[in-house]
Amino acid sequence: MEERQTRLAAFDQAAESVTHDREHSYGSPRRSFARIAQMWTAILDVDVTPHDVALCMAALKLSRLCTDNDHLDSWVDLVGYARCGVLLGPTYETTNDNSY
């Protein structure tokens, strides 16, 4: 049980700091993911949004976890990409009638 708590504490600490550390190194998620989206749009010749970047990077981490589901850094990065997706803001228009 103690090893599990230690591992969870390490995960929580890393997950809390991951976006702060990355922002210091690479700039804000909004600016960084917009730049990546522009590059991927040019390379793939399809429209890629910053949210697409967050989803694709999360998918990359999920794929890696399929190979090694005990790799703590991949779990932390997955949380970081999910957090970046949230920080990018909503991509939908709000309606009052709850229709989809």
Q: Is residue 52 part of a domain?
A: yes
Give me the number of domains the chain comprises.
1
pTM of the full structure: 0.77
Q: Is residue 1 part of a domain?
A: no
For residue 38, what is the enclosing H or E element? helix 29-44
Q: pLDDT at position 92, please? A: 53
Domain that holds residue 76: 13-87
Tokens at residue 58, please? 């999360």
> How far apart, in whole angstroms, are the C-alpha atoms of residue 60 and residue 74?
9
Q: Is residue 51 part of a domain?
A: yes
Q: What is the mean pLDDT of residues 82-94?
A: 76
pLDDT in tens, 6-62: 878 877 777 777 767 777 888 888 999 999 999 999 999 999 999 999 999 999 999
Cβ atoms of 50 and 35 closer than 8 Å: no
Q: pLDDT at position 100, please? A: 39
Q: Is residue 54 part of a domain?
A: yes
Q: Is residue 27 part of a domain?
A: yes
More confidently predicted of 78 and 14? 78
HSE-CB for 42 with a 13 A CA cutoff:
5
Asked whether residue 98 carries a pLDDT value surpassing 50, the answer given is no
Q: Is residue 36 part of a domain?
A: yes
Who contacts 18 (Cβ-Cβ below 8 Å, separation ≥6)? Answer: 76, 77, 79, 80, 83
Q: What is the mean pLDDT of residues 91-99?
A: 51
Who contacts 52 (Cβ-Cβ below 8 Å, separation ≥6)? Answer: 37, 40
